[in-house]
Structure 1
């Protein structure tokens, strides 16, 4: 979504849940989750850079992509999320002019999707 927005797609407002900011972190988490060896992770990084260029990590960093956006954004992220670190949403919110970060607690990465309060806040934000 942020790639599309930074490339000119328009919308009135956006809501993100447990947003990923850095592809590099996602690759590391993927490797750990799938119990890949450090050598395999290094090979995956090499293949990514070979296919998309060495600057791929910076080019797709969401905090860099959103720096020039002026679309109101509401981000929700649980401080105890074990899949995507809370700091990723914090970095996005700090870089994005007009973004607001709502921290939750006790919802983790998946329960945040079904939390009635989060859903209602998102709906209210989009509708008003």
Structure 2
């Protein structure tokens, strides 16, 4: 939910030292005029009321699914759609996930969101979870 852990993974993937990652953080803060902590989604979420559907895969190797859960819990009325086996990128091409996202954007779940508890059923497909609310 914050930028620290993704920046650590990003820097490690590129072979940056901690000193280089720190300079990267400083340059980004200088460029955007805000501190790193200003971009913590879970901290910002309570002040936001736009409809939100977080879609996250339990096996995401780049961003832990707990980050999606934290944002969902902090954002009033947010829904969470958990998937399995899609990882960080295949989730974008999965037909059921795309259908769920399109339905959400079209307002089919804007009033109620998707309940986190419904999304924890490991046997349910994304579309089944969406339609169950």
TM-score tier by shorter-chain length is: 0.7 to 0.9
Higher strand share: 1
Q: Which runs of 5+ in 2 are unaligned?
A: 109-133
Residue 44 (structure 1) aligns with: 24
Larger radius of gyration: 2
Question: Alignment length, in residue pairs?
Answer: 107
Aligned residue in 1 for 2:83: 104
Instruction: Give the match for residue 31 of structure 1.
Output: 11
The unaligned stretches of length 5 or more in structure 1 are: 1-20
CA distance in 1, matches of 2:98, 2:30: 40
Could you report, residue by residue, the CA deviation over 1:43-80 in whole angstroms, capped at 9, with x for unpaired residues? 33344456667x71221111122212222211100111
Structure with more contact order per residue of length (Cα contacts < 8 Å, sep ≥ 6): 1
User: Is 1:70 matched up with 2:49?
Assistant: yes
TM-score of the pair, normalised by structure 2: 0.70
Q: CA RMSD in A?
A: 1.9
CA–CA separation in structure 1 for the residues paired with 2:47 and 2:54 = 17
C-alpha deviations, 1:11-62, integer Å up to 9, x for none? Answer: xxxxxxxxxx211122111101101122322333344456667x71221111
Which TM-score applies when normalising by structure 1? Answer: 0.73
